[in-house]
Amino acid sequence: MRGCVALFTLTILSGCTGVQSALDPAGREAGTIARLFWWMTIGSMIVWLGVIVLLIYSVRTRAESFTRRKARIMIVGGGVVVPVVVLTVLLLYGLAPIPAMLAPAPPGSLKIAVSGEQWWWRVHYLPPGQAPIPSANEIRLPVGEPVEFHLESPDVIHSFWIPPLGGKMDMIPGRKTRLVLTPSRTGVFRGACAEYCGASHALMAFSVVVQQREEFAAWLSHQSQPAESPQELLAIQGAHLFLANGCSACHTIRGTAAAGVVGPDLTHVGSRLSLAAGILPNDPNAFERWIGQTHDLKPEVLMPAFHMLPPEDTRALAAYLEGLK
């Protein structure tokens, strides 16, 4: 498992071109849109080259041979007839997928509530008939099933976007929006906030893991469990420091006294693929940096930096958090 996580992390940080690409679709919706894109691009290139050819022809042609009739054909044909035909076809083809994209997921589908907050993602899995399972900054999905996202924001407008899976949907304070995505292959992808939401808008990403149904179910069941108590000495110290330094005022670690709700739920933070909303790898060193240099890493973020802590305390905290698998 650890090796797997390391591999995933490596993929996120250095990895291949496709993790955030809409042109490398891994979902039904993204596939539809990518196909639409390629057809429109081919059409656009034909029209564009056609206009350039006409321009060259217009410059070269002899004025005498360009009759009024030709002029009328050019204006009416190029300006009215061709656009009307092309656009009608395009609208029929391009708008056809809308109803399917906007339809709610079938009953019994997995629902996930995601709240965009400056600058991280609050996630609640809502499995049918169970209590919500909190998480943050990472989305895991079973392959081949439609998933319905319930999107909202308590502060400013964000936009929830996983390019390889489908289009984006805004998260608007005071409103609830919905997005249905259907992943079609397993893999690790990357999502990002697409609506400018303040200083660290650029630093608001998340990892997306599409898994087989059984893997996903096992993972989700683990996520619903409280955190395991730390075993190593350093981590045990860290657990004390977490409460003593007031981290618990904002963060929840289920199974401990930490029950703050301002910031991300950290119950299984060590098992996530990245830290701080997709901007750091998940390793002890990154935890230390995040705790001590919070605002260098993410300007204007609400979390105060704990640079006053002695290095050994920071190390202990990092060891504890990293161990929360």
Partner 1 sequence: MRARNTIDQLATDVEPLKSAPPEDVQAAQTERLLKAWKTPTGWRYWSAVNNSEVGLWYTAATFFFLLFGGVLALLMRIQLARPRNDFLSAEVYNQAFTVHGSVMMFLFAIPVFEALAVMFLPQMLGARDLPFPRLSAFGFWAFLLGGIFLAGSIFFNAAPQGGWFMYPPLTSSYQKGIGPDIWLLGFSFIEIAAIAAAVEMIVGSLKCRPPGMRINLIPLYVWYVLVASIMILFAFPPLIAGSMLLEVERAFGWPFFNPAGGGDPLLWQHLFWLFGHPEVYIIFLPSVALIAMIVPTFARRAIVGYTWIVLAAIGTGFLSFGLWVHHMFTTGLPGISLGLFSAASEAVAIPTGVQIFCFLATIAAGRVVRSVAMLFSMGALVIFVLGGLTGVMVAIAPFDFQAHDTFFVVGHFHYVLIGGALFPIFAACYYFFPLVNGKQLSEKLGRVGFWIAFIGFNVAFLPMHVTGLRGMPRRVFTYEAGIGFDALNLTTSIGAFVLAIGIGVIFWDLLRPKGKQPYSERNPWNAGTLEWTQEMPGKPWGIRSIPEIDSRYPLWDQPDFIRDVDEGRFYLPDAEEGLRETIVTSPVDATPEQIQRLPGPSFITLIAALATGGFFVFGTFHWWWPALGSLVLATGVIIYWLWTGTGLIPEKHEKDAGLGLTLPLYSSGPSSVSWWAVVITMLADFTAFMCVIFGYFFFWTIHDDFPPANINGPGVMWPTIAAITLLLAWASTLLARRWNRMDWPTGFYAGIVAAVVLALAGTAFLLAGPWFTRLDPTSHVYSATVWILVIWTAFHIVIGVVMHGYCAARRIARRMTARYDSEIVNVAVYWHFVALTVVITVAVIAGFPLLTRG
Contact (Cβ atoms closer than 8 angstroms) between residue 38 and residue 24: no
CA 160 remoteness from chain centre: 6
90 versus 236: smaller Cβ distance to partner 1? 90
Contact (Cβ atoms closer than 8 angstroms) between residue 181 and residue 150: no
Rounded to a whole number of angstroms, the minimum distance from the CB of residue 234 to partner 1 is 30
Contact (Cβ atoms closer than 8 angstroms) between residue 101 and residue 257: no
37 versus 222: smaller Cβ distance to partner 1? 37
Backbone angles phi, psi at 209, to 5 degrees: -120, 120
Contact (Cβ atoms closer than 8 angstroms) between residue 170 and residue 244: no
220 versus 275: smaller Cβ distance to partner 1? 275
What residues have CB less than 8 Å from 306, skipping those under 6 apart? 245, 291, 292, 294, 314
DSSP 8-class letter at 252: B
166 versus 187: smaller Cβ distance to partner 1? 166
Backbone angles phi, psi at 176, to 5 degrees: -120, 130
Backbone angles phi, psi at 277, to 5 degrees: 60, 55
Q: Comparing C-alpha atoms, which of 262, 226, 257 is closest to residue 133?
A: 226
Q: Which residues of 11-48 are buried (b: 16+ CB within 10 A; e: fewer)?
A: bbeeeeebbbbbebbbbbbbbbbbebeeeeeeeeeeee
Rounded to a whole number of angstroms, the minimum distance from the CB of residue 138 to partner 1 is 16
3 state SS of 24: coil
7 versus 84: smaller Cβ distance to partner 1? 84
71 versus 218: smaller Cβ distance to partner 1? 71
Rounded to a whole number of angstroms, the minimum distance from the CB of residue 157 to partner 1 is 6
Rounded to a whole number of angstroms, the minimum distance from the CB of residue 299 to partner 1 is 4
Rounded CA-CA distance 112/239 in Å is: 29
Q: What is the largest CA-CA distance in the chain?
A: 94
173 versus 304: smaller Cβ distance to partner 1? 173
